[in-house]
C-alpha cells in the first residue's frame, strides 16, 4: 500500500485527492508517478479501471506553471467522450493548484472552441484530428508544451491514427516528456511507441490476467437468431443497475435499441453516426440513470468511467482480444464487481478460445435462460422490493385494509395480484435483428496465438471504421476507409 504522501506530491494536489476521496495510490499510480516526476518518458500498462488517468494526470499537473497562461500539457484520446471525461478528472485534480484543462474535439463548434482556447487553459485534452486542426490554425500553440500524454495509446497508434500521432509529436518541442497509457499494449504497438519516445521506462502492473479479477466472465453459446430473446431474458433475470450492450455495427446498435425499447426497456444507442449533441445527451442520460441500457459500438469501449455499470453484454463478440478487454472493463472499476456476458454463435467458438488465450482469462459457460425463467426472474425483482418494504416495518396504516381483503380472498390470490401489479409487464413483441456474418479466426492465427501476429494489426488499421462498428469482414480496405475512420472518430 502506498500513500500519495510517499510519492512526493505537492500540497494543493494532495488536498484535491483528499476531496476526491482517493485514500491510497493504486499500483500503477505508485509505480509511475515517481518516474514521471523525475522527468522520464513512461509507458504505463495496467488493467481497466485502475486509475491510469490520475497516474499521468498528477505528474503532468505538478509540472504546470500556473503563472504562465499557456498550453503546457497535451492529452490525446481516441474518442470525444473520453476527452471530456479526462478533462473533467484533470480539472478535479488540478483545481486547488489552479490548473485548468479544456477538452477539444470534433463535432463541437470551432468558434466556441477557439474562444475557450483564448482563455488560456494549461492543459488541452483532444482527439487527434481536431488537435491537428488547431495546430494548423495556430489556435493551439505548441512551443510551451512540456508534457504529451497518449491515453489509450495502443488504440491511437493503430494504423488509423498513427500518422496523426506522429504529426502531433513532430510539432511539439523535442525535449518534451511523453507518457503513454493503456490497459493493453501489444508488442508491435509498444515497439512503435518506443520509437516515438526518449528511452521510456516501462511499467506493467503485474497481473495474472489482462482482465480485472472482479469481473465475472461468462459466455452463452447461441445461434444468431436467438440472441435478442436471450438478451431480454437475461436483462429480466439479472435486472442490472446499468448495463452496456456492445454490438458490431451501427445498424445493429440501432436495431437492438429499438427492439429493447419495444420490449419496454429504457435503452438508448450510441455510435459514430450520431451528432455530437445526441452522443452527449445519451451518455448523460445513462450516467444519471434516466437510461438503464446503453447499446454501443466500440466507440464506447475505451476509457469511459461510469459508476453503476454492473453488466456488460457482448451481443457480438469483438474481433480483437484487446477490444474484449476494454469493453468488459466498463464494469468492475475501482475495485467494484461486475458481470460480463458474451454471446457466441456456434461457429465463433474458436474465436472465443483465442480471446481467452490472449487475455489469459476464462469465460464460464452459461445456459441460455428460458422464457419461464425470465418471467420468474422479473417476479423475483418484485419480491425483493416487497421484502425491502416489509423490512422498513412501517405498514401499520395498511393493516386494516389488508385484513378486510383477507376476509374476502385467500392470501395466495391477494399476493399474486400484488405481484402482477408490481411486476414489469413483459412485452413479447417479436424483434428481428438483421444478421451479420460470424467472426472467423484464421487457422494460422489460432495456432500462433496473437502475440506475434503482425498481420493482424496491418489489417486492422485499414479496415473501415472498427470503432464505428463497421463490419470489418466487409470493411473497405482502402485509404478512403482509413480516412473515414479518422474523421468519424475525432
Ligand atoms: N487512488 C484512487 N483511489 C480511489 N479511486 C481512484 C483512485 N484512482 C482512480 N480512482 C477512480 O477509479 C476510477 C477508474 O479510474 P480511471 O478511469 O483512471 O481508470 P483507467 O485505469 O484509466 O481505466 P481504463 O483502462 O478503462 O481507461 C475513476 O472513477 C477514478 O476516479
Ligand atoms: Mg483510462
What are the pLDDT digits (tens) for 337-358?
999 999 999 999 999 999 999 9
Collect all residues with Cβ–Cβ distance below 8 Å to 139 and sequence separation of at least 6. 113, 114, 117
Nearest CA to ligand 1 atom 27: 303
Give residue 381's pLDDT: 87
Task: Take residue 442 and report the three cell numbers written for it.
Answer: 484464421
- 465 falls in which pLDDT band (50, 70, 90)? very low
Nearest CA to ligand 1 atom 9: 51
The mean per-residue pLDDT over the stretch 331-337 comes to 95
The mean per-residue pLDDT over the stretch 32-53 comes to 97
Residue 232 beta carbon below 6 angstroms from any ligand 1 atom = no
Beta 242-246 vs 215-221: how paired, if at all? unpaired
Helix 52-62 × helix 11-20 angle, to 10° = 150
Please report the DSSP string for 426-473 in residue order: P----------PPP---HHHHHH-STT-HHHHHHHHHSS-GGGT--TT
- 158 falls in which pLDDT band (50, 70, 90)? confident
282 CA distance to ligand 2 middle (Å): 20
305 CA distance to ligand 1 middle (Å): 8
Helix (H) or strand (E) holding 315: none
The mean per-residue pLDDT over the stretch 200-228 comes to 94
- Ligand 1 pocket mutation pick from 9, 334, 359 by most atoms within 8 angstroms of CB: 334
Give residue 425's pLDDT: 76
Please, are residues 433 and 245 in contact by the beta-carbon 8 Å criterion? Answer: no
Burial-class residue 128 by CB neighbours within 10 Å (0-12, 13-18, 19+): buried
Give residue 461's pLDDT: 33
Could you read off the pLDDT of 393-426 as tens digits, one per residue? 999 999 999 999 999 999 999 999 999 988 877 7
The mean per-residue pLDDT over the stretch 144-150 comes to 98
pTM (two decimals) = 0.87
56 has pLDDT over 80:
yes
Count CB atoms within 10 A of the CB of residue 362. Answer: 10
| DSSP code of residue 25 | B
Rounded to 5 degrees, φ, ψ at 295 are -105, 130
Please indicate whether residue 241 or residue 158 has the higher confidence score (pLDDT): 241
Alpha-carbon gap, residue 83 to 79, rounded angstroms? 6
137 CA distance to ligand 1 middle (Å): 34
- Which ligand ends up closest to the CA of 22? 1
Q: What is the mean pLDDT of the chain?
A: 89
The mean per-residue pLDDT over the stretch 58-76 comes to 97
Give residue 488's pLDDT: 40
Reported ipTM: the value is 0.99
Range scoring the smallest mean pLDDT among 24-33, 204-213, 244-253: 204-213
Alpha-carbon gap, residue 11 to 28, rounded angstroms? 21
For cell 490520475, the residue is 54
Give residue 231's pLDDT: 97
The mean per-residue pLDDT over the stretch 357-380 comes to 91
147 CA distance to ligand 1 middle (Å): 21
The mean per-residue pLDDT over the stretch 424-444 comes to 77
Give residue 262's pLDDT: 94
Residue 113 beta carbon below 6 angstroms from any ligand 1 atom = no
Residue 470 beta carbon below 6 angstroms from any ligand 1 atom = no
Helix (H) or strand (E) holding 362: none
- 437 falls in which pLDDT band (50, 70, 90)? confident
> Among residues 222, 228, 219, 296, which one has the least CA distance to residue 434?
228
Give residue 128's pLDDT: 96
451 has pLDDT over 50:
no
Alpha-carbon gap, residue 66 to 116, rounded angstroms? 17
3-state DSSP assignment of residue 336: coil
Give residue 442's pLDDT: 59
Amino acid at each position: 500500500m502506498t500513500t500519495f504522501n510517499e510519492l512526493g506530491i505537492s500540497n494543493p494536489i494532495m488536498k484535491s485527492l483528499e476531496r476526491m476521496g482517493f485514500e491510497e495510490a493504486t499500483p500503477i499510480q505508485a509505480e509511475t508517478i515517481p518516474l514521471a516526476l523525475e522527468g522520464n518518458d513512461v509507458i504505463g500498462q495496467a488493467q481497466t479501471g485502475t486509475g491510469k488517468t490520475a497516474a499521468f494526470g498528477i505528474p503532468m499537473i505538478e509540472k504546470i506553471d500556473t503563472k504562465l497562461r499557456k498550453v503546457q500539457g497535451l492529452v490525446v484520446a481516441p474518442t470525444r467522450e473520453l476527452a471530456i471525461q479526462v478533462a473533467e478528472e484533470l480539472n478535479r485534480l488540478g483545481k486547488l493548484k489552479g490548473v485548468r484543462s479544456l477538452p477539444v474535439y470534433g463535432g463541437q463548434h470551432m468558434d466556441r472552441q477557439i474562444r475557450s482556447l483564448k482563455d488560456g487553459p494549461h492543459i488541452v485534452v483532444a482527439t487527434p484530428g481536431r488537435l491537428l486542426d488547431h495546430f494548423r490554425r495556430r489556435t493551439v500553440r505548441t512551443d510551451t508544451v512540456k508534457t504529451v500524454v497518449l491515453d489509450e495509446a495502443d488504440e491511437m497508434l493503430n494504423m488509423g491514427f498513427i500518422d496523426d500521432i506522429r504529426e502531433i509529436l513532430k510539432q511539439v518541442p523535442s525535449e518534451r516528456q511523453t507518457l503513454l497509457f493503456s490497459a493493453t499494449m501489444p508488442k508491435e504497438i509498444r515497439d512503435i511507441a518506443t520509437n516515438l519516445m526518449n528511452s521510456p521506462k516501462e511499467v506493467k502492473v503485474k497481473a495474472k490476467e489482462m482482465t480485472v479479477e472482479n469481473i465475472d466472465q461468462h459466455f452463452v453459446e447461441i445461434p444468431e437468431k436467438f440472441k435478442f430473446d436471450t438478451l431480454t431474458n437475461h436483462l429480466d433475470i439479472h435486472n442490472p443497475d446499468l448495463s452496456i450492450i456492445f454490438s458490431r455495427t451501427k445498424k445493429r446498435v440501432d436495431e437492438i435499441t429499438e427492439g429493447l425499447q419495444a420490449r419496454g426497456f429504457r435503452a438508448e444507442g450510441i455510435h459514430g453516426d450520431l451528432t455530437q449533441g445526441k452522443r452527449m445527451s445519451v451518455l448523460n442520460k445513462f450516467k444519471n440513470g434516466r437510461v438503464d441500457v446503453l447499446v454501443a459500438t466500440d466507440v464506447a469501449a475505451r476509457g469511459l468511467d461510469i459508476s453503476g455499470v454492473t453488466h456488460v453484454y457482448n451481443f457480438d463478440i469483438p474481433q480483437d482480444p484487446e477490444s474484449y478487454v476494454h469493453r468488459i472493463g466498463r464494469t468492475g472499476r475501482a475495485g467494484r464487481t461486475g458481470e460480463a456476458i458474451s454471446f457466441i454463435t456456434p461457429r465463433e467458438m474458436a474465436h472465443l478460445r483465442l480471446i481467452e488465450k490472449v487475455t489469459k482469462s476464462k469465460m464460464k459457460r452459461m445456459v441460455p435462460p428460458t422464457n419461464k425463467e425470465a418471467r420468474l426472474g422479473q417476479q423475483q425483482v418484485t419480491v425483493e422490493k416487497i421484502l425491502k418494504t416489509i423490512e422498513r416495518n412501517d405498514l401499520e396504516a395498511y393493516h386494516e385494509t389488508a385484513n378486510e381483503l383477507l376476509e374476502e380472498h385467500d392470501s395466495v390470490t391477494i399476493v399474486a395480484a400484488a405481484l402482477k401489479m408490481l411486476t414489469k409487464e413483459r412485452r413479447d413483441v417479436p424483434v428481428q435483428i438483421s444478421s451479420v456474418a460470424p467472426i472467423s479466426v484464421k487457422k494460422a492465427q489460432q495456432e500462433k496465438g496473437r502475440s506475434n501476429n503482425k498481420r493482424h494489426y496491418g489489417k486492422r488499421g485499414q479496415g473501415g471504421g472498427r470503432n464505428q462498428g463497421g463490419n470489418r469482414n466487409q470493411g473497405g480496405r482502402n485509404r478512403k476507409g482509413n480516412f473515414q475512420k479518422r474523421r468519424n472518430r475525432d
